[in-house]
């Protein structure tokens, strides 16, 4: 049964699975608190919460309903602002009022929903995390300062939150209505059946396809590959880490394994999109989308990752760097699904870095990005992989630069020479994200930044320029 | 008092156009726009689209019974293009369909053949080719030609500022429904209900009395819905006239960005002359305003550029000339500041140029030349109540400019890969519509027989808090509980012939009209009470819901007084009118007294630039602002913070980008970036310089909507400072916005 719960109401859904959650909530159910600002996940006016039953507890995340196919919420709890409203304002709402965090009001509900989602998280309250929960919400009126002040008060009000029993505590303190208490039971009772992936258009998180092909999807059945438990895992075995194709970016961020491999993981991931997008977008989707500027493509290219493509029983595994044949041209048949990604777990002497610059530092598509993994033995570069995005028709694995640097020592002179090699193997073009000249200079700088950051004792900007 | 809409906003219960429950039979309108920026329409084939199931009708110019004309200042803009197209996205037709999804599919089936012509996107080229919207204008003071040779230093240069997308989060939209007898009601997301009404009437070929325009609130306007909300409201009304069904037209984001105009890009030349002791003796500027394909509000915007050409400085000899250049971009339009910011940017660039050449801190030249009382603006008005020197010294005493300078210099000496910069940004902004006849407003007040009050004004609530201020005024005047007062929607049948909510003057104009209405009603109520208590009218006061007689409370409540007056057949409804006194302007000599008063302030901005990557963060912006006597600090401070951040956005990351063929490249939120929560200054401090305030301002609380945007100019010059600290060879180009790209290129230009 295609069922889910919307606020306090059980929904048996008869619409095509590609219908957008936004249109369902706003127009089919006339819950007009959820607004439309851009329909491309870039403003957050349509933010709702999606709650998933995990180990007997509800786990809520904020998502952009404008990019979420309704099929991705079967068996889940969807919360719009109407599902948070009670007779009195909730503390989140009240602090937004008290601090004048709302002017025209059009974006406000998105902020309220995201902040309420933050309250629902089972973690100890912390101002920076609370702010991170609204990193996908854009406000054109306030300049955000009043919203920051409200967020600080909200964080303070959560100080005594019982994170073992978050929902109960929030109900008790009137952050959420009491129907939330019964939701886990009601979700369990829905007993959703995982839908077989059909031959229709495959949708992961939908965060790119619904931007590019909105009109072709919203009235169709789609193949749902994300959020299928069989495709959503992160494992480590025999020195190899494998992640399922349906794994979301947030799954990576929250993975203990991943955090143990990459000490600055949260700093890197903060540069990628926004919380509500990261909560639904899949790593595989980032690869298959074939954008020359995909942040996770750059990330995994620098891990020299492999991908497994499956069609029914047939499987094949190739290097990610061999996946891209030309602009938006993949080594993949129409029927194949990217089911998993694997990479050799970085050795203890290995270091990793991701650099990205865009017009706006957060919630933006890169002008240029680059990642590096590098291991040094006896002062020479033993293994190295470097990627760059935005400097050619495909996400680039910098073969020649890598070959040049292998076996070299870390000196400013070698890195300057390597930049010359690098410049010879990229073909950036001028577009809305920057001129060719800028992208060349920027990649040089990001390439230098890797070494300045990872080898501060050996390399300085001064020595490089 | 907090914003009266806040509770509705946080619960999602506030109503915007697209939230109005749709009537049965509603059809959805979708404009079809020109795919190219300039050309002659050879043929349009709608047949496939018309045959698409669910398409009801496609409207074109041929369906117009009245005038196919929407130009507000000049009649130079068609609602639907007939023979020629002048910008990409220019509406040619409106598809009416049973759902918006159907309309989108049908739109792809329209086939159009256009004989393309070369587009012009550069205003200087337009000017060279004689493509002007109207003749140039020049403001002059003193005798500039005689002064240059007396100047110890003269610098010339060029300064460019780009456009800015309004990016109200609620896109443009309207919902029109048929009433009886051919009457139509349009619910519109507009700052100018009367403009929608007037234009709809003339396009439909009916009287204005047939068209009712209603506005509950806007999800942001910022000037973008002053004139450019009109076509969508008119198209929806036209649809109603033609098919007699309700028509909803809500632009999607990409159409909105493509089809509507933005802040005007300007390209300008400046020449500045200074004395040995840094007095600015002469300033000459030539502005090339990129007006786009039609006049829209460009003449008025250009005028304000001239008014604010010298910003907060007194310059005895000025010549400022502006050209409004016709290009093949969407008609550019009002945007918070309305041409003022563009004019000030050039002045600030000229000062920065001089400071750099003379190797003195920019703020020394700024301070030396600040306006004072009695100085004459180039347009003839004499400066009064100029708090600038006081404000500057407040900034200095609170934030210690010299200390900031030293701290930053020290930081820059100690750090190679990161550099800091700072700037001071004074702002002087004139309040009033520069077109004098627009400075009028009306308010309609009903006191209901139970003592509650309904207030209608011409003001449109768009987040600026004007309804809150109106409610405050009514509650204060009557001295009753604010809960007894309701702010009605803005509706042309209740308040007619309104000026748009713009020019920062909405609260002043409508508030004063409301005061006038309240005063008259109070007089009537007092008369009734005076009769009752057998005293003179002057002996009666209304206080906190009670009638007070000669300073002593009586047993008569406000409600009892109202009920009594009603039974005595006293009129409990009043229409207040207000027209700003004093102001005038004579265009034939370009002199007069166009502004009721000026708003002043100074911002101190600090930035840190990452010299490896070319990115930057604003550490702080500290502002001392002349509020007069703020009637609502939470609303007014919110305007400062929001305006500042919008100004910083314009100066930094917001980059409107057109291809050479006139196609908008930055046509989505993924390619046009406005500040997010991480990119705003870490700290914003706002200190009020509480002054007497102006009698011309409502409750002496000065207008606050537009002025703070111009504090954002400081962002550009703070970055410029930091870049120079890293790369002394960098020659400032004054080409806003200072994007990460431009910063990196500047950091490494002429480096080796």
Q: Per residue in A12-60, pLDDT tens?
A: 999 999 999 999 999 999 999 999 999 999 999 999 999 999 999 999 9
Q: What are the tens digits of pLDDT across the range A257-277?
A: 999 999 999 999 999 999 999
Contacts of A100 in chain B (CB under 8 A): 2-3, 6, 634-635, 637-638
Q: Which two tokens stand for residue B236?
A: 């929806």
Which of B12, B101, B416 lies closest to A82 in CB terms? B12
Which residues have a Cβ under 8 Å from the Cβ of B326 and sit 6 or more positions away? B120, B126, B131, B132, B133, B291, B292, B293, B294
Cβ-Cβ contacts under 8 Å for B624 (sequence gap 6 or more): B391, B394, B395, B398, B601, B602, B687, B688, B689
When pLDDT is averaged across residues B311-317 and rounded to a whole number, the result is 98
Q: Which of A141, A267, A289, A364 is the best residue to mutate to test the B interface, defined by the most B CB atoms within 10 Å of its own CB?
A: A141
Q: What angle do CA A350, A352, A354 make, to 5 degrees?
A: 170
Q: Which tens digit of pLDDT belongs to each residue from B163-172?
A: 999 999 999 9
Is residue B706 annotated as a catalytic residue, yes or no? Answer: yes
CA angle B281–B283–B286, rounded 5-degree value: 170
Cis peptide before B737 (omega within 30 of 0): yes
Q: Which residues of A touch B15 (CB under 8 A)?
A: 32
Q: Kind and range of the H or E element at B273?
A: strand B266-274
Rg (CA), chain A: 23
Q: Is B676 helix (H, G, I), strand (E, B) or coil?
A: coil
Write down the pLDDT at residue B423: 98
Predicted pLDDT at B750: 83
pLDDT > 70 in chain B, percent: 100
The distance from CA B577 to its chain's CA centroid, rounded to whole angstroms, is: 24
Nearest by Cα to B237 from B492, B494, B506 = B492
**Distance between CA B339 and CA A109 in Å, rounded?**
33
Domains of chain B: 6-118+172-250 (3.90.1170.50), 266-434+588-747 (3.30.365.10), 440-579 (3.30.365.10)
CA distance from start to end of chain A:
63
Contact B283, B318 (CB under 8 A): yes
Are the beta carbons of B288 and B124 closer than 8 angstroms? yes
In chain A, where the domains are located: 3-190, 228-465
What whole-number distance in Å separates Cα of residue A230 and Cα of residue A26? 32
Q: How many angstroms separate the Cα of B219 from the Cα of each of B14, B215, B229, B432?
A: 10, 11, 12, 24
| Residues in chain B within 8 Å Cβ distance of A416 | none
- CA atoms of A251 and A234, how far apart (whole Å): 8
A97/B contact by beta carbon, under 8 A: yes
Low-confidence ranges of chain A (pLDDT < 70): 1, 194, 199, 227
Nearest-by-CA chain B residue for A462: B416
Taking CA atoms, B529 is separated from A73, B477, B522, B550, B555, in Å, by 65, 16, 10, 12, 12
Q: Nearest-CA neighbor of B437 among B76, B139, B73?
A: B73
Distance between CA atoms of B90 and B571, rounded to whole angstroms? 50
Q: Hey, are the CB atoms on A445 and B612 less than 8 Å from each other?
A: yes
Looking at the partner chain, which of B19, B219, B666 has a beta carbon nearest the beta carbon of A32? B19
CA-to-CA distance for A325 and A331, rounded, in angstroms? 7
Give the per-residue pLDDT at B691.
84
Residues of B in contact with A83 (CB under 8 A): none
> Euclidean distance between the first and final Cα of chain B, in Å?
58
Across B490-500, average pLDDT: 97
Partners of A319 in beta bridges? A306
Residues in A 212-271 with any Cβ partner in B closer than 8 A: 215, 218-219
pLDDT of residue B98: 98
The residue behind tokens 């009020």 is: B688
Question: From the candidates A104, A115, A289, which should be mutated to test the interface with B, based on the most B CB atoms within 10 A?
Answer: A104
> Is the CB of B219 less than 8 angstroms away from the CB of A89?
no
Strands B317-326 and B280-292 turn out to be parallel
What are the CB-based long-range contacts (under 8 Å, 24+) for A335-338?
A: A335/A199, A335/A311, A336/A309, A336/A310, A336/A311, A337/A197, A337/A202, A337/A225, A337/A245, A337/A309, A337/A310, A337/A311, A338/A245, A338/A284, A338/A287, A338/A288, A338/A307, A338/A308, A338/A309
Residue B130 Ramachandran class (φ > 0 left, ψ -120 to 50 alpha, else beta): left
Contact between A180 and A170 under an 8 Å Cβ cutoff? The reply is yes
Instruction: Give the pLDDT confidence of A68-122 residue by residue, as tens digits.
Output: 999 999 999 999 999 999 999 999 999 999 999 999 999 999 999 999 999 999 9
- Cβ separation A442–B614 shorter than 8 A: yes
CATH superfamily of A3-190: Beta-grasp domain (3.10.20.30)
Phi, psi of B539 (to 5 degrees): -80, -10
| Cβ count near B84 (within 10 Å) | 16
Residues of A with CB below 8 A from B739's CB?
359
Per DSSP bridges, beta strands B485-487 and B453-457 are parallel
Mean residue pLDDT across chain B: 97
Evaluated on CA atoms B389, B393, B396, B398, the torsion sign reads negative
Q: How far apart are CA B279 and CA A379, in angstroms?
A: 61
Q: Is the pLDDT of residue B557 over 70?
A: yes
Taking alpha carbons only, the member of A416, A413, A408 closest to residue A374 is A408
* Choice among B77, B98, B706, B741 that is catalytic: B706
Beta carbons of B640 and B724 less than 8 angstroms apart: no
Answer yes or no: are the C-beta atoms of A103 and A141 closer than 8 Å.
yes
Q: Tokens 């129409």 identify what position?
A: A334
Query: Distance, in angstroms, between B279 CA and closest chain A CA?
Result: 36
Could you tell me how far CA B350 lies from the centroid of its own chain?
Answer: 25
Per-residue pLDDT band for B752 (boundaries 50, 70, 90) equals low
Please tell me the predicted confidence (pLDDT) of residue A227: 59
Q: Is B13 exposed, middle or buried (0-12, 13-18, 19+ CB in 10 A)?
A: middle
Q: pTM of the prediction?
A: 0.98
Q: What is the DSSP letter of A244?
A: E
Residue A305: which of A321, A289, A292, A294 has the closest Cα? A321
Q: CA dist A16 to A2, A10, A144, A334, Å?
A: 10, 18, 38, 22
pLDDT at A224: 84
Counting Cα atoms < 13 Å in the Cβ hemisphere of B607 gives: 33
Question: What confidence score (pLDDT) does residue A191 get?
Answer: 78
Q: Measured between CA atoms, how close is B4 to chain A, in angstroms?
A: 10
Nearest by CB: A112 against B10, B634, B752: B10
From B6, which residue of chain A is nearest by alpha-carbon distance? A97
The reply to whether A105 touches chain B by the CB within 8 Å rule is yes
Tell me the CATH class for A228-465. alpha beta
Q: Do A432 and B7 lie within an 8 Å CB cutoff?
A: no
A289 vs A207: CA distance, rounded Å: 10
Q: Does A440 touch chain B (CB under 8 A)?
A: no
**Region B689-704 average pLDDT:** 92
A446–chain B nearest CA distance, Å: 7
* B462: helix, strand or coil: coil
- The secondary element (H helix, E strand) that includes residue A298 is helix A295-301
How many A×B Cβ pairs under 8 Å?
Answer: 238
> Between chains, do A143 and B612 touch, taking CB under 8 Å as contact?
no
3-state secondary structure of B429: strand
Q: Is residue B75 classed as helix, strand or coil in its secondary structure?
A: coil
Per-residue model confidence as pLDDT tens digits over B327-379? 999 999 999 999 999 999 999 999 999 999 999 999 999 999 999 999 999 99
Nearest CA in chain A to B166: A140
Taking contacts as CB-CB distances below 8 angstroms, the residues of chain B near A37 are 169-171, 253, 669
In chain A, the residue whose alpha carbon lies closest to the alpha carbon of B218 is A104
Query: In this structure, what token pair is assigned to residue B698?
Result: 């409502």
**Smallest CA–CA distance from B644 into chain A, residue:** A143
**Residue A130: predicted pLDDT:** 98
For B403-433, the pLDDT digits (tens) are: 999 999 999 999 999 999 999 999 999 999 9
């Amino acid at each position: 049964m295609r069922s889910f719960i919307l606020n306090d109401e059980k929904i048996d859904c008869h619409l095509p699975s590609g219908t957008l959650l936004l249109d369902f909530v706003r127009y089919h159910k006339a819950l007009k608190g959820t607004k439309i600002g851009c329909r491309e996940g870039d403003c957050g006016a349509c933010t709702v919460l999606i709650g998933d039953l995990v180990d007997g507890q509800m786990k809520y995340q904020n998502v952009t309903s404008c990019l979420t196919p309704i099929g991705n919420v079967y068996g889940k709890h969807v919360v719009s602002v109407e599902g948070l409203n009670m007779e009195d304002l909730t503390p989140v709402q009240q602090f937004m009022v008290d601090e004048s965090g709302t002017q025209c009001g059009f974006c406000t509900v998105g902020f309220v929903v995201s902040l309420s989602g933050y309250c629902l998280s089972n973690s100890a309250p912390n101002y920076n995390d609370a702010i991170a929960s609204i990193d996908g919400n854009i406000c054109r009126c306030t300049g955000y300062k009043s919203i920051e002040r409200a967020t600080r008060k909200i964080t303070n009000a959560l100080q005594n939150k019982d994170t073992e029993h978050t929902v109960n505590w929030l109900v008790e303190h009137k952050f959420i209505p009491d129907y939330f208490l019964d939701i886990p039971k009601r979700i369990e009772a829905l007993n959703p059946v995982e839908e077989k992936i059909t031959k229709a258009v495959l949708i992961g998180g939908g965060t790119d396809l619904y931007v590019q092909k909105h009109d072709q999807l919203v009235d169709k059945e789609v193949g749902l590959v994300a959020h299928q438990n069989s495709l959503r895992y992160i494992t480590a075995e025999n020195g190899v880490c494998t992640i399922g194709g349906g794994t979301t970016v947030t799954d990576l961020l929250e993975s203990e394994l991943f955090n143990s491999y990459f000490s600055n993981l949260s700093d890197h991931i903060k540069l990628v999109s926004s919380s509500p997008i990261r909560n639904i977008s899949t790593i595989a989707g980032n690869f298959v989308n074939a954008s020359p500027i995909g942040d996770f493509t750059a990330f995994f290219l620098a891990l020299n990752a492999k991908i497994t493509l499956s069609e029914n029983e047939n499987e094949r595994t190739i290097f990610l760097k061999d996946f891209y044949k030309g602009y938006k041209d993949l080594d993949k048949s129409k029927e194949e699904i990217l089911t998993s990604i694997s990479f050799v777990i970085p050795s203890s002497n290995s270091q990793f870095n991701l650099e990205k610059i865009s017009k706006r530092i957060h919630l933006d598509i890169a002008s240029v990005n680059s990642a590096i993994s590098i291991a040094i033995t006896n002062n020479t570069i033993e293994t190295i992989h470097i990627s760059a995005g935005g400097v050619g028709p495909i996400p680039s694995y910098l073969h020649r630069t890598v070959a040049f640097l292998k076996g070299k020592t870390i000196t400013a002179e070698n890195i300057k020479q390597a930049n010359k090699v690098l410049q010879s193997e990229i073909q950036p073009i001028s577009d809305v994200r920057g001129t060719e000249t800028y992208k060349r200079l920027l990649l040089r700088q990001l390439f230098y930044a890797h070494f300045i950051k990872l080898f501060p004792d050996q390399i300085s900007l001064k020595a490089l320029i | 008092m907090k914003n009266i809409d806040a509770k509705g906003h946080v619960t999602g219960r506030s109503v915007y156009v697209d939230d109005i429950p749709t009537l049965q039979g509603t059809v959805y309108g979708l404009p079809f726009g020109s795919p190219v920026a300039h050309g002659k329409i050879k043929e349009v084939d709608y047949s496939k689209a018309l045959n698409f199931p669910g398409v009801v009708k496609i409207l074109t110019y041929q369906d117009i019974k009245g005038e196919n004309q929407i130009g507000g200042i000049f009649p130079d803009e068609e609602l639907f293009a007939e023979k020629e197209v002048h910008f990409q996205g220019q509406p040619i037709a409106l598809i009416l369909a049973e759902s918006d999804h159907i309309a989108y599919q049908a739109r792809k089936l329209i086939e159009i053949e256009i004989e393309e012509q070369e587009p012009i996107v550069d205003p200087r080229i337009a000017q060279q080719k004689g493509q002007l919207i109207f003749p140039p204008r020049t403001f002059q003071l003193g005798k500039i030609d005689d002064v240059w040779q007396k100047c110890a230093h003269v610098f010339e240069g060029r300064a460019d500022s780009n456009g800015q997308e309004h990016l109200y989060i609620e896109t443009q939209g309207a919902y029109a429904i048929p009433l009886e007898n051919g009457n139509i009601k349009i619910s519109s997301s507009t700052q100018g209900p009367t403009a929608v009404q007037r234009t709809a009437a003339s396009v439909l070929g009916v009287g204005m009395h047939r068209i009712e325009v209603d506005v509950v609130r806007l999800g942001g306007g910022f000037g973008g819905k002053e004139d450019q909300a009109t076509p969508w409201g008119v198209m929806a009304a036209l649809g109603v006239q033609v098919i007699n069904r309700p028509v909803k037209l809500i632009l999607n984001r990409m159409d909105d960005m493509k089809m509507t105009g933005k802040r005007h890009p300007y390209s300008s030349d400046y020449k500045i002359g200074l004395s040995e002791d840094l007095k600015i003796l002469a300033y000459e500027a030539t502005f090339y305003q990129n007006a786009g394909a039609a006049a829209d509000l460009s003449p008025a915007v250009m005028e304000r550029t001239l008014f604010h050409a010298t910003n907060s400085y007194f310059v005895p000899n000025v010549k400022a000339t502006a050209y409004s250049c016709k290009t093949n971009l969407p008609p550019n339009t009002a945007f918070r500041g309305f041409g003022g910011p563009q004019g000030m940017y050039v002045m600030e660039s000229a000062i920065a140029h001089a400071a750099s050449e003379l190797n003195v801190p920019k703020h020394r030249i700024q301070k030396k030349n600040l306006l004072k009382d009695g100085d004459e603006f180039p347009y003839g008005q004499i400066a009064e109540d100029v708090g600038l020197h006081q404000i500057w010294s407040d900034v200095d005493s609170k934030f210690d400019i010299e200390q900031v300078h030293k701290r930053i210099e020290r930081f820059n000496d100690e750090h190679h890969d990161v550099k800091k910069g700072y700037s001071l940004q004074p702002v002087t902004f004139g309040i009033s519509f520069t077109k004098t006849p627009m400075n009028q407003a009306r308010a309609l007040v009903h006191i209901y027989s139970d003592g509650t009050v309904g207030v209608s004004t011409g003001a449109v609530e768009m987040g600026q808090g004007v309804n809150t201020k109106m409610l405050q005024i009514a509650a204060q005047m009557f001295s009753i509980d604010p809960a007894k007062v309701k702010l009605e929607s803005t509706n042309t049948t209740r308040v007619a012939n309104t000026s748009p909510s713009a020019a920062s003057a909405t609260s002043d104009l409508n508030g004063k009209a409301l005061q006038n209405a309240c005063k008259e009603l109070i007089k009537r109520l007092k008369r009734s009470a005076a009769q009752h208590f057998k005293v003179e009218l002057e002996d009666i006061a209304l206080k906190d819901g009670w009638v007070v007689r000669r300073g002593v409370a009586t047993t008569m409540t406000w409600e009892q007084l109202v009920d009594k007056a009603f039974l005595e057949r006293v009129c409990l409804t009043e229409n207040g009118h207000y027209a700003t006194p004093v102001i005038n302007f004579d265009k034939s000599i370009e002199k007069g007294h166009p502004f009721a008063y000026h708003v002043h302030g100074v911002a101190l901005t600090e930035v840190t630039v990452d010299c490896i990557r070319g990115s930057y963060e604003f550490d702080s912006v500290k502002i001392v602002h002349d509020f007069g006597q703020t009637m609502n600090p939470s609303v007014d401070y919110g305007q400062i913070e929001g305006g500042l951040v919008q100004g910083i956005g314009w100066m930094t990351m917001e980059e409107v980008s057109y291809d050479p063929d006139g196609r908008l490249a930055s046509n989505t939120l993924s390619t046009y970036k406005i500040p997010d929560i991480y990119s705003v200054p870490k700290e914003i401090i706002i200190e009020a310089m509480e002054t007497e305030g102006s009698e011309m301002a409502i409750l002496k609380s000065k207008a606050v909507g537009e002025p703070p945007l111009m504090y954002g100019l400081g962002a550009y010059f703070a970055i410029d400072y930091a870049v120079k600290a890293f790369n002394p060879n960098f020659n400032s180009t004054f080409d806003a916005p200072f994007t990460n790209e431009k910063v990196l290129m500047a950091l490494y230009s002429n480096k080796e």
